Amino acid sequence: MGQGETTQREELRDWLGRLSYILRSSDHLHQKLGHVRKQYKQPDYWQPWKLAQFLANTIRYSGFALLLLFAVVSIPLVFIADGKQSGAAKSLVNVAVLIILILLYYGVCKLTYFVTERVLVKKLGSGSEALERQERMRIRGKEYLVLPVAVGHLVPFLLLWLMMAGGSTNGPTVANETLMLAIGLFVNLVVGAVASVVTLLLHNRKVEAHNMAETAGAEARNIHNQRVYDSEKELVDEINTLVGEFTDTYLGNFPAAYLRPGVVDYMWQLVTNHRASTLQEAINVYEADARQQQLADQQRAILDRQNQILAQQQYANTVLVTNMIMNH
C-alpha cells in the first residue's frame, strides 16, 4: 500500500469525521435553540379603559331596567287588573305578550350587535382569522355599536306603546299611557346611565391596578428576555458557523441522500477499518452492507415467525394430549 493511498484514506477519514461532527452538533444546537426560545416571557396585554363605552353601556343597562320593570311591576299588575275584569285567560295572554316582548328585545339587541360587528370586521379586516379577532376586539372598544344597541332598545318600547294604544279606544287613556311610557323611558335611561358610571368606575379601577402590576414586572421581564436573547444569539451564531463550513466544504461534494449522522459514522468506520479508501468505495460498501443487513433482518423475521408457529403447534398438541388423558 503506497504512502499516497494512506494519506488519501486519512484525509477522507478526517473529512467524514468532521462532517459527522457538523451534523450531530447542528441537531444538538437546534434542540437547544428550541428549548431556549420557549423561555421568553410574554407581557400581559394592557387592559383598555372603557370610557368610550359609556353611551353603549347606558343604553344596555336601560334595557336591563326595562326587563326588570316588566318582571317586577307590569306582570303582577296585569294579573290583578285583568283578573278583576275578564278572568285568568286574558291575563295569561297579556303575560305571554309581555314575555314575547322581552324575548324580542333581547333578540333584536343581539341580532343588531352581531350583524353590525360582522359587517365592520368584514370591512376593516384583512381576511386573516387572527387579524379578524384583533379587529373585533378593537371594534368593541369603539362607539360603532351604539346605534344598533339603541335601535334594539327602542323597538320594543315602540311595540309596547302600539300594544297599549291598540288595546284602548279612549283618547285620554292613550295619552296617559304614552306619557307613562315616556316617563318609563326617561327613568330607564337615568338608571342605565347611573349603572354605566358605576360599572366604568369599577372596571377602570381594575384596569389601573392591572396596568400598574404589568409596569412593575416589565423591567424584570425585559432583563430575563435579554438573557434569553443573548443565549439564542450565541446558539444561532454557532449554527450559522457550522452551516457556513458545511456549505463551503461539503455542499455538492457529499451525496444528500446519505446526509445522516448514522450513515456518515458508518462510512467513517469503513475508512478507519481500511474497508474503503475513497468516498465512492465507502458508499458502495455501505450499500452492500445495508442490503446484506436487510436480508438478514428478513431471514430473522421468517425464522421468528416459524418458531412462533412451532410453539403454537406444540401448545395445541399438549392441550390435545391433556384432554385425551382427562377423558379416559
Position 242 pLDDT exceeds 80:
yes
Task: Answer whether 0.95 is exceeded by the pTM.
Answer: no
Please report the pLDDT score of residue 172 as a whole number: 59
- Residue 227: phi, psi to the nearest 5? -65, -45
Least trusted range by pLDDT, from 87-101, 158-172, 253-267, 303-317 = 158-172
pLDDT at 328: 63
Q: What is the pLDDT of residues 27-78, one digit of tens each?
A: 999 999 999 999 998 776 666 665 556 666 666 666 666 666 655 655 555 5
pLDDT score of 141: 47
Residue 287 has pLDDT above 90, yes or no: yes
State CA 159 to chain mean position distance. 43
Statement: residue 137 has pLDDT above 80: no
Residue 251 backbone phi and psi in degrees, to 5: -65, 120
Number of Cβ within 10 Å of residue 214's Cβ equals 15
Which region holds residue 284: left if phi is over 0, alpha if psi is between -120 and 50, else beta?
A: alpha
Mean pLDDT across the stretch 228-257?
94
Quick one: which of 66, 75, 94 has its CA closest to 157? 66
Domain ranges (residues) in the chain: 51-223, 278-327
Half-sphere exposure of 12 (CA within 13 A, CB side): 26
Q: Can you give the pLDDT at residue 288? A: 93
More reliable by pLDDT, 99 or 230: 230
